Amino acid sequence: MDHFHYRRGMLHAEGVSLATLGTEVGTPTYVYAEATLRRHWEVVSHAFAGRPTLVCYSVKANSNLALLSRFAEWGAGFDVVSGGELARVERAGGQPRRTVFAGVGKTKRELQQALGSGVLLFNVESAEELELLDQVARAAGVRAPFAIRVNPDVDARTHRSISTGLKTSKFGVPLAEARALYQRSRQLRGLLAKGVDCHIGSQLTRVGPLAQAVRRVAALYRQLAAEGHPLGLLDVGGGLGIRYRSEAPPGPEAWAKVLRAATADIAATLVVEPGRVLVGNAGVLLTRVLYRKPGHARRFVVVDAGMNDLLRPALYGAEHEVVSVRQRRGRRVLLDVVGPVCESTDTLAAGRHLVLPLQGELLAIRTAGAYGMSMASNYNGRPRPAEVLVSGRRWQVVRTRETLRDLWRGESTGR
């Protein structure tokens, strides 16, 4: 369900024509539909109604301040993986005391920053991190609320690059070691065991592995609670998949049902960390066709967005639908939509059957709201795209396009 539809032959975001945005803002530009964000937020939060739950939007999916401030206003907590993301949450009006801090490599400075802000929970990923967190907290004269991120050793059956819960993964610690760390924490006066955590991967399209993981983590929670650890939070991560092309992931209700069932007998606040499912199909990347070229074996359509703007296809072989902004009829031809970057992996969509677009025509790369702009870079000396938020018939630029001067901000010639 999203709010990108053709009206009078032109693709619109809610009530705003993407052709208008292409002319007024230029390309490449990320365009987000607030109504879609809102709808996903409501579906996900309602799926947990009646069970004490904190829904923490996973900031790395899309960290634009306008999106963060909408989620904060709607009552979201946040899941951050760096001091930079925490600073963004605070800048956007989000509350640190509703924010969980994850990540396998938090620096001392980040631990200090997050303690100073008063985050709800540190999701700790190693014995050494636990010791450092204790030191930092004692130096600050406080106790740090923590959970151990457990690696439950289940195969999330998603793409291997976005699977995080196997024992070969760098994330979390094995169950047995997690128990030992909670024991150890009793001797550390800077720590307070407030929860148990896991997150097994992203773009999950089946709930079986998740159910298995959460049952393991819930069993640990029960043991620890019985041993007298204060706890109170059971963080089961995010990862619910979405439909890019032909996937058929479970909906938020089915996902919530599994999580609720696996944790039904536990009197803890459930923490969930959805990212992609909240923002993924709320965004498109608007791009313009520069050139068409026949090529030897394939026909190429060269557009003005590249892998620096949307990395997912090059990084994981991810597939996004590509559509013409002006609805076109006619014979479809086999083509590759490629970017201008000097890398062969800079193919945004390979082997598609589309009506050959005209030079200068606008295309929309769909389902680009998650892990799109947040992964954008300046590779090949390319300013990053603008971002636009549409609300009904209104729209605003919520991040201006970078300028050439922005490309060397902070640099010097060293002469």
Point out the residues that are catalytic.
342
Which of residues 240 and 386 has its CB atom nearest to ligand PLP in the complex?
A: 240
Using the rule CB under 6 A, is 367 a contact of ligand PLP?
no
Considering only the stretches 35-43, 183-191, 232-240, 303-311, report the one whose residues sit in contact with ligand PLP under the rule CB under 6 A: 232-240
Least Å distance between CB 131 and ligand PLP?
21
Q: Which two tokens stand for residue 278?
A: 């909240």
Least Å distance between CB 257 and ligand PLP?
17
Among the listed residues 190, 237, 306, 357, the single contact to ligand PLP using CB under 6 A? 237
Least Å distance between CB 164 and ligand PLP?
7
Using the rule CB under 6 A, is 276 a contact of ligand PLP?
yes
Considering only the stretches 26-34, 110-118, 209-217, 234-242, report the one whose residues sit in contact with ligand PLP under the rule CB under 6 A: 234-242
Which of residues 85 and 304 has its CB atom nearest to ligand PLP in the complex?
A: 85
Using the rule CB under 6 A, is 239 a contact of ligand PLP?
yes
d(CA 309, CA 385) in angstroms, rounded, equals 7
Q: By CB under 6 A, what part of segment 200-219 binds ligand PLP?
A: 202
Token pair 């059956």 is found at 157
x/- map, 121-150, ligand PLP, by CB under 6 A: ------------------------------
Using the rule CB under 6 A, is 2 a contact of ligand PLP?
no
- Chain position whose Cβ is nearest to ligand PLP: 275
Q: Which two tokens stand for residue 270?
A: 């459930």
Using a 10 angstrom Cβ sphere, with 0-12 exposed, 13-18 middle and 19 or more buried, the burial of residue 381 is exposed
Among the listed residues 275, 283, 306, 313, the single contact to ligand PLP using CB under 6 A? 275
Least Å distance between CB 162 and ligand PLP?
7
Using the rule CB under 6 A, is 14 a contact of ligand PLP?
no
Using the rule CB under 6 A, is 58 a contact of ligand PLP?
yes
Using a 10 angstrom Cβ sphere, with 0-12 exposed, 13-18 middle and 19 or more buried, the burial of residue 156 is buried
x/- map, 162-201, ligand PLP, by CB under 6 A: -------------------------------------x--
Among the listed residues 35, 37, 61, 322, the single contact to ligand PLP using CB under 6 A? 61
Count the neighbouring beta carbons within 10 Å of the beta carbon of residue 230: 11
Which of residues 277 and 362 has its CB atom nearest to ligand PLP in the complex?
A: 277
Q: By CB under 6 A, what part of segment 255-274 binds ligand PLP?
A: 273-274
User: What distance lies between CA 43 and its chain's CA centroid?
Assistant: 17
d(CA 116, CA 261) in angstroms, rounded, equals 36
d(CA 56, CA 50) in angstroms, rounded, equals 17
Which of residues 173 and 323 has its CB atom nearest to ligand PLP in the complex?
A: 173
Which of residues 68 and 301 has its CB atom nearest to ligand PLP in the complex?
A: 68
Q: By CB under 6 A, what part of segment 73-112 binds ligand PLP?
A: 79, 81, 102
Least Å distance between CB 276 and ligand PLP?
4
d(CA 300, CA 297) in angstroms, rounded, equals 10
Which of residues 150 and 323 has its CB atom nearest to ligand PLP in the complex?
A: 150
Using the rule CB under 6 A, is 233 a contact of ligand PLP?
no
Site size for ligand PLP, by CB under 6 A? Answer: 17
Query: Residues interacting with ligand PLP, by CB under 6 A?
Result: 58, 60-61, 79, 81, 102, 199, 202, 237-240, 273-277
